[in-house]
Amino acid sequence: MTVDLRTPRMELKIAGEETHIDLAMIQGLWSVEQYLRLTNQTNRIIEYTDGVIEVLPTPTKYHQAISKLLFLAVLTIVQRFGGDVFYAPLRLQVRPGTFREPDLLVILDKHDPRAQDEFWLGADLVIEIVSPDRPKRDLEEKPRDYAEAGIPEYWIVNPLTQSVTVLTLDGDAYRTFGMFPRGTNVTSKLLADVHLSVDAIFDAS
């Protein structure tokens, strides 16, 4: 059995013939174990919520250029005090039964036991670059998920509006710490040393 992640669909090959089965037929039935095995077999970013899998688009060069710039900038800062930064694909368990794969995950202590090998159990900061295929995922759904996971800070890097929104956790929900358009510098409640040019982020190539 192979899984065609572009459609997505499940493809069964029997005696030289192909039978195509729409994944919609089994959405809601995937187990966590099946999800983990599936993601171990591909570099595609796949997220999981209560038996439903979602295959995210392959990042573009522009997306990756922004991600690279942010990774290097944040890594330089957090390494000074023993932190670390990792990038997708890397699974983050929001709660039992829900997994996300943020573009960047930051921990302030590189020995943090939440940063496990198979998947992370939390982070101090996550960064998402908004995907044009379904912006609601990063703008509305993931803030709820990351707040539920207790992640102190969430950056929404939005190429569609050329802006960065920094959200900080206040109780069980996020509040806007700052919305930074072109011509300004991103600042952070969590990382006091961050003063990152928004122009530089969206001019990345």
Segment 29-85, tens digit of pLDDT: 788 888 888 888 888 889 998 888 888 888 999 999 999 999 999 999 999 999 999
What's the CATH number for 61-202? Answer: 3.90.1570.10
Q: At residue 91, does pLDDT exceed 90?
A: yes
Q: SS3 breakdown of the chain: % helix, strand, coil, rounded to 5? A: 25, 35, 40
What is the pLDDT, as a whole number, of residue 32? Answer: 85
What CA–CA distance (Å, rounded) separates 195 from 83?
A: 18
Q: Are strands 9-14 and 17-22 parallel, antiparallel or unpaired?
A: antiparallel
Q: Which helix (H) or strand (E) covers residue 27, if one does? A: none
What is the pLDDT, as a whole number, of residue 38? Answer: 87
Query: Whole-model pTM?
Result: 0.84
What is the pLDDT, as a whole number, of residue 178? Answer: 97
- The mean pLDDT of 102-118, rounded to a whole number, is 94
3-class secondary structure, 24: helix
Q: At residue 1, does pLDDT exceed 70?
A: no
Question: Phi and psi dihedrals of 72, rounded to 5?
Answer: -65, -40
CATH 3.90.1570.10 domain extents, the chain: 61-202
Q: How many helices (H) and strands (E) does the chain have?
A: 5, 15
What is the pLDDT, as a whole number, of residue 83? Answer: 96
Q: At residue 9, does pLDDT exceed 60?
A: no
